[in-house]
Amino acid sequence: MTARLFEPVNLRGVTLRNRVVVPPMCQYSAEDGVAGDYHLVHYGRFALGGAGLVILEATAVVPEGRITHGDLGLWSEAHGEALARIARFLKAQGAAAGVQLGHAGRKASMQRPWYGNGPLGPEDLARGDAPWEIVAPSPVAMDEGWLVPAELTPAAMAALTGAFAAAAGRAERSGFDVIELHCAHGYLLHSFLSPLTNHRTDGYGGDRAGRMRLPLEIARALRAAWPADKPLFVRVSAVDGIEGGLTLDDTLAFARELEGIGVDVLDCSSGGLAGSATAARVRRDYGFQVGFAEAVKRETGIAAMAVGLIVDPAQAETIVAEGRADLVAVGREALADPNWALRGTGGYAAWPQQAGWWLERRAGDIERLGPWRG
């Protein structure tokens, strides 16, 4: 029933064992940007659970680009060394290892979600979480009571482009197979793309071409710094879902430019310009964002990844088999069941042998007894 979903797929010189991707989901549990044991175990379980590609959460290329004090970073070799053991483990278990590089922009200097998910304030100082200065394309705060960002200067944008390229080099030395550039959910590069948050009057604002300029410069720098045999993904918010904001036509134009640069996959999310990163502005239903991936795949030459309430392997198989997307991202469902991909294969042949042989022997008892009824 799910044969196509579990076929290997080649992206440049990287082969994914299947089309199931665990997408970036911030854990807010790093110390000074450095990954720890928690991250090794957290991400490792998805590789053991059969995913084809596991992409680490939003990883800041500069300290002030973090969303919270708990975000991962990749602005030094020490950060890369901590991430390298995660990449090694993922690959040893048969998954490809990815990392999402980003900058939070006007959504930086925030509380971790369980502390309120708002701007850092006096109550956070007791936890050692002091606010810092933030930047954006224009000095437009996310909402009343939030920090007003400083407008990025051309010199600062050039330095930031260099920071992304340097982080890509560290990711390569750490053994990652895939980089994803974060251009979604209201963070810095999304805020350049959207006319609602980019009010610049220089060459980095105004019309669509101006608003795309910095994201494209950074994508070009990443492609140059990243090995030619390794794929580059870009995550987008395909629409803002707010009057006057980004439209699907804007995203299709962006996708065509990215394809020309050498980007391999567009990861198609939506919303997040205002409010939380996952604040959808379109009706949530099963697979509610698949249409964006389908449009990108149909209208451009770039491969597309679908995400958003994809909860069942049969549902994911239909998306792939019908040609609506090339890859399927399973996020919160993977948090609920890290073995989601393995369960979709049926039987225990694909499971790690350390678990599979136990489960295979138990299966006969379960079949004999039938469902437990209490």
Active site residues: 187
147, 200, 203, 356 from 207: Cα distances, Å: 26, 10, 9, 56
- Helix H, strand E, coil C: the string for the chain is CCCCCCCCEEECCEEECCCEEECCCCCCCCECCECCHHHHHHHHHHHHCCCCEEEEEEEECCHHHCCCCCCEECCCHHHHHHHHHHHHHHHHCCCEEEEEEECCHHHCCECCHHHCCCECCHHHHCCCCCCCCCEECCCCCCCCCCCCCEECCHHHHHHHHHHHHHHHHHHHHCCCCEEEEEECCCCHHHHHHCCCCCCCCCCCCCCHHHHHHHHHHHHHHHHHHCCCCCCEEEEEECCCCCCCCCCHHHHHHHHHHHHHHCCCEEEEECCCCCCCCCCCCCCCCCCCCHHHHHHHHHHCCCEEEEECCCCCHHHHHHHHHCCCCCEEECCHHHHHCCCHHHHHHCCCCCCCHHHHHHHHHHHHHHHHHCCCCC
By residue count, the chain amounts to 374
Distance from C-alpha of 52 to C-alpha of 71, rounded to nearest angstrom: 24
Distance from C-alpha of 91 to C-alpha of 14, rounded to nearest angstrom: 11
Amino acid at 28: Y
The residue among 98, 13, 106, 114 whose CA lies nearest residue 51 is: 98
Distance from C-alpha of 84 to C-alpha of 103, rounded to nearest angstrom: 21
